[in-house]
């Protein structure tokens, strides 16, 4: 019997799935979905970019690190761990997981998401995720 090694190609879909999970209507916090909270934060801080570091549970700029935007990050980490485990990778195989959000319209955001493994290989969706705020 030949044991098949874990295949990195199986990880390609994870960054997009994480972004879709974060932006889905299941990601509701108090009076808004994550897209709503992102737009509010962009407008309040008068900025057009926000970066979320999933593994370190931090948001940049620091002023954007608010409870609503942090609320689902632990869930994303768990999804990532489950996907790595399912695909026979160690928990530490991914050393970086980020979302880069950009406000591209009055109520429209673009998310570029990626993972980086311990070898420096990057995994990202073919296209960025575009989402509309519900407000």
Distance between CA 126 and CA 131 in Å, rounded?
Answer: 16
CA 134 to chain centroid, in Å, comes to 19
Residue 59 confidence class, pLDDT cut points 50, 70, 90: very high
Query: What average pLDDT does the chain have?
Result: 93
State residue 4's pLDDT score: 44
- Give me the mean pLDDT over the 107-132 stretch: 96
For residues 77 and 81, give the distance between their C-alpha atoms in angstroms, rounded to a whole number: 6
| Number of domains the chain is built from | 1
Domain range enclosing 109:
2-132
| Residues 60-88: tens digit of each pLDDT | 999 999 999 999 999 999 999 999 999 99
Average pLDDT score over residue span 20-49? 95
Q: What confidence score (pLDDT) does residue 68 get?
A: 97
- The confidence band for 2, taking pLDDT boundaries of 50, 70 and 90, is very low
pLDDT bracket for residue 5 (50, 70, 90):
low
Collapsing DSSP states into helix, strand and coil, what is residue 93? helix
For residue 123, give the H/E element and its range.
strand 122-123
């Amino acid at each position: 019997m030949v044991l098949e090694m874990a295949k990195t190609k199986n990880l390609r879909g994870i960054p997009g799935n994480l972004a879709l999970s974060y932006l889905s209507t299941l990601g509701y916090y108090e009076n808004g979905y994550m897209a709503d909270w992102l737009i509010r934060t962009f407008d309040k801080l008068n900025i057009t970019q926000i970066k979320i570091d999933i593994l370190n549970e931090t948001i940049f700029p620091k002023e954007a690190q608010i409870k609503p935007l942090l609320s689902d990050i632990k869930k994303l980490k768990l999804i990532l761990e489950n996907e790595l485990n399912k695909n026979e990778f160690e928990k530490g195989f991914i050393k970086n997981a980020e979302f880069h959000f950009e406000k591209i319209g009055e109520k429209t955001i673009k998310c570029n998401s990626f993972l980086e493994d311990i070898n420096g290989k990057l995994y990202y969706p073919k296209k960025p995720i575009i989402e509309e705020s519900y407000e």
